[in-house]
Structures are given as C-alpha cells and as structure tokens.
A = this chain, B = another copy of it.
Amino acid sequence: MPTSEQIRATIGQYVECFSTADKDGWIQLFSADARVEDPVGEDAHVGADAIAAFWDVSRTLADAITLVPTGPVRVAGVEAAFPMKAVTSIGDDKLVVDIIDVMTFDDEARITSNRAFWDPAEIRPYEG
C-alpha cells in the first residue's frame, strides 16, 4: 500500500509534467493498465497507449495547458482527490475551467485510475 507521502509525490509530478508538457514523464506516472475518464461520464481511455493518444488529442488545439492547484490534496486510503483550475492557452486567448481529479494508486503509487470532474459548459475566459 502506498504511503500518503508517495501519493502526494505522484500528484505533484502529475501537475508538474502536465503543465510543462512532459508527456513521457506524465505517462510514466500511470500503471500499464490504468484507466482515465476525463471528463467523468465520457468513455474511458484504458492502457498506456490509449492514455498517450488522449494526451495527443488534448494538445492538438492548445499551445499550453497549466494546472493550478486550488487547495490541498485529500488522501484517503489508496485514493486521493484534489481541486485545481486548468488554464489553456490558444494563441493569445486563455480559457479556464475548474476540475477535481479523483485517483487510485497501486503499491508503487502509480496512478491506476483517474476520474476528472469538470463540465465543458463551465469553460470560460481566463481573467488572470
């Protein structure tokens, strides 16, 4: 069972790699058979190849995506949830949406599941 500190470290790397467009570093945070549902309610991306393809699609339109944590990580057992804003830059425009990610972890604190709670209807211009 991963420790709370290991889970927090993985989440810290997740935010860092995502925001610096470090795709390889980001993919390595997941287990081989991980499941990503983003947003919750859509079909899941299962396995490293599908998750890598999902990364590529999400970057097609965006010049940059920055995750900004808006509160502490809540760890409970081998799961965790944390709140953030995602700021997407497209040319000179910036958009923002509020997200809560809910993750499960394996014994090495790799992500086995991520469920991202957000609503496309809530995307709005980012005021800075």
Q: Please state if A78 and B41 are interface contacts (CB–CB under 8 Å).
A: yes
Indicate if A82 sits at the interface (CB-CB under 8 A). Answer: yes
Q: A interface, by DSSP: helix, strand, loop or mixed?
A: strand
- Report B-chain residues with C-beta under 8 Å of the C-beta of A75: 117, 119
B80–A98 touching, CB < 8 Å: no
Q: Does A72 touch B at the CB level, under 8 Å?
A: yes
Q: List 27 A-B contacts (CB under 8 A).
A: A4-B119, A4-B121, A39-B76, A39-B77, A40-B79, A41-B76, A41-B77, A41-B78, A41-B79, A70-B83, A71-B71, A72-B98, A72-B122, A74-B98, A74-B99, A74-B117, A74-B119, A75-B117, A75-B119, A76-B116, A80-B117, A81-B100, A81-B117, A82-B100, A83-B83, A102-B102, A102-B117
- 4 interchain residue pairs of minimum CB distance: A41-B77, A40-B76, A74-B117, A81-B100
Residues of chain A whose beta carbon lies under 8 Å from any beta carbon of chain B? 4, 39-41, 70-72, 74-83, 98-100, 102, 116-119, 121-122
4 additional A-B pairs beyond A39-B76, A41-B77, A83-B100, beta carbons within 8 Å, are A40-B77, A72-B98, A72-B122, A75-B117
